[in-house]
Amino acid sequence: MGAGRLATLPPVRAVPAEQVRAALVGTPTVVVLDDDPTGTQTVRDLPVLTRWAADDVEWALAQATPAFFVLTNTRSLGPDDAAARDREVVRTCLEAARRRGVELIFASRSDSTLRGHFPLETDVIAQEAGSPDAVVLVPAYTDAGRITLDGVHWLREGADGTDLVPVAESEFATDATFGYRSSRLADWVAEKSGGAVPAADVAEVRIEQLRAGRPTLPAARVIAVDTVVDDDLRAAVLAILAAERDGARFVYRVGPSFVRARAGQPEQPPIADAALRDAVGRGPGLVVVGSHVGRTRRQLERLDARRDLARVEIDVPTVLDDAARDAHLERAVDELAASLGRSTTVLATSRTLVTGRDEAESLDIARRISAALTAVTARAVAAHPPAWVLAKGGITSSDVATVSLRADRAWVRGSLLPGIVSLWAPTSGPPLVVFAGNVGGDDALADVVDRLEAAACA
């Protein structure tokens, strides 16, 4: 399947963001529980919290934006801990909303390549916020070429983006923790729920319905929505808002693009050079790389080929060796702190992927590696604050934000590449660039570093 099927689609029906914004008047605020920080890539000028004490949630609600993010980082946790964290966040948000007299809707934002805790997270939200009529499932990430068509989730590949690869045939489906076999969303829901939600209980809203006119949402436990472009998403959002005005209640399980559409924001160009110069400091920056997917490896190779940056490596087998770990990390801190005093530096884990015997052990290994990476980053940044920090990888970005930089509250200011790679402006500390491991072309990391280096030297 590829160009042929795309060519047979009905013409895109234009649905401007202004139409969605008009429909948002008087609607509840959307709380986006983001299982890693990369859900912010498609939006701008929305608040993001990396902790969820009552005063933090009160701050976010006071901004009066149509949505705000709470970074739960649950993709790095085991199921029990993920459920407990989601439950705590939802309860805190609901209590804050009651005090302010406002209504909330909850979105569980997760990976556009279908990795993450599902249906666990939407189940927890439903238990705490009240049973919904349906879970709306929209994993698409149009900017990164992740689309849903004919009820199947695809990756757009090839030079012209017309080659469609079923997501279950990609490297992401073999994830050590969140692997899966199904590309059709109805079958994926049945697979991930262990049969508790059979495929027959998943309704599909097809692209033809979205482009023919405002669709109505079918009655089902899960509603999977086709999406090829953002106009399709906005058409779906208008249908969702109409159903909610009529009394329907939904929980959303979505990729990054849905949040942009639901917040009434259009696709926007990357941050302009002048704004980027105002946002970053002057001097060397820091690139922290924890992601191990093939795309990140290729991007690092291109960065090395384009720029002769200093490099500090954390050796994963040594980190997992209790006897050798501490001395190795002490050396890494000293080397990184000294390097940041002179030049932009890449701090990376060794590139050989180490996994465990099962999902739990693989998660534990990932947490230990991330803890080492963020501890080294925190100490080095304290010694020599950089002009900017770029974190590559979802879990890495989360841990750098929360542990290394202690960025409890921030604003998402926009993207550095079209629809990908977001810039956060924390209320204190250096600007943080959140760069998912699985997005961008091979030159994307080098292109972003070029922009940051130029801004920091201006």
253 contacts: CB under 8 Å, gap ≥ 6: 107, 108, 110, 118, 119, 121, 122, 135, 136, 137, 138, 139
Shared-domain flag, residues 75 and 133: yes
Confidence category of residue 221, pLDDT binned at 50, 70, 90: very high
* Structure confidence at residue 428 (pLDDT): 87
Cα dist. 224→23, 231, 377 in Å? 22, 16, 40
Taking CA atoms, 380 is separated from 39, 91, 151, 314, in Å, by: 27, 36, 47, 14
* Segment 121-173, tens digit of pLDDT: 999 999 999 999 999 999 999 998 999 999 999 999 876 777 899 999 998 99
Together in a domain, 351 and 386? yes
pTM exceeding the 0.85 threshold for the entire prediction? yes
Q: Would you place residue 383 in the very low, low, confident or very high pLDDT band (cuts 50, 70, 90)?
A: very high
Specify whether 93 is located in the same domain as 178: yes
pLDDT of residue 355: 73
Q: Report residue 138 as tokens.
A: 């929209």
Q: What CATH number does the domain containing 414 carry?
A: 3.40.980.20
Read off the CATH number of the domain in which 237 is found: 3.40.50.10840
161/254 same-domain check: yes
The chain-wide mean pLDDT, for the chain, equals: 93
| pLDDT for the residue numbered 451 | 97
Using the 3D structure, point to which of 227, 262, 297 is the last residue of a domain. 262
Residue 400 placed within a domain: yes
Instruction: Indicate whether 94 and 59 sit together in one domain.
Output: yes
How confident is the model over 181-211, as pLDDT tens digits? 999 999 999 999 999 999 999 999 999 999 9
DSSP, res 170: S
| In a domain? residue 380 | yes
Cα–Cα distance, 443 to 171 (Å, whole number)? 20
In degrees and rounded to multiples of 5, residue 360 shows phi and psi of: -65, -45
Per-residue pLDDT for 351 more than 90? no
Q: What is the chain's length?
A: 458
My answer on whether 125 and 227 are in the same domain is yes
Across the range 261-288, mean pLDDT stands at 95
Give me the number of domains the chain comprises. 2
- Residue 172 falls inside a structural domain: yes
Domain-located, residue 332: yes
Using DSSP's 3-state secondary structure scheme, residue 246 falls into coil
The last residue of a domain, from among 222, 241, 262: 262
2-51 residue pLDDT tens: 667 888 999 999 999 999 999 999 999 999 999 988 889 999 999 999 99
Residue 15's CB is within 10 A of a number of other CB atoms, namely 22
What are the distances in angstroms from CA 368 to CA 8, 50, 295, 399, 405? 49, 20, 23, 12, 18
Q: Which residues are CB-contacts of 39 (< 8 A; sequence separation ≥ 6)? A: 32, 69, 109, 110, 255, 256, 259
Same domain, 124 and 32: yes
- pLDDT one-digit tens code per residue, 388-423: 999 998 888 888 999 999 999 999 999 999 989 999
* SS3 annotation, 272-306: CHHHHHHHCCCCCCEEEECCCCHHHHHHHHHHHHH
Average of per-residue pLDDT across 334-338: 96
pLDDT digits (tens, 9 = 90+) for 50-95: 999 999 999 999 999 999 999 998 998 899 999 999 999 999 999 9
Residue 282: CB atoms within 10 Å:
10
**Whether residue 79 sits in one domain with residue 50:** yes
- CB count, 10 Å around CB of 206? 16
Q: Given 232, 262, 292, which residue is the final one in a domain?
A: 262
Q: Range of 191's domain?
A: 3-262
| pLDDT tens column, 429-440 | 899 999 988 888
Token output for 285: 């920056």
Q: What is the largest CA-CA distance in the chain?
A: 64
Q: Are residues 172 and 57 in the same domain?
A: yes
Structural domain contains residue 232: yes
In Å, what is the CA distance from 35 to each residue of 86, 89, 253, 258, 437? 10, 12, 11, 15, 14
pLDDT > 70? residue 253: yes
Two structure tokens written together for 100: 């302010």
Greater confidence, 352 or 273? Answer: 273
Judge if 57 and 130 occupy the same domain.
Answer: yes
The Cα 119–Cα 201 span in angstroms is 14
Q: Is there a single domain that holds both residue 104 and residue 211? A: yes
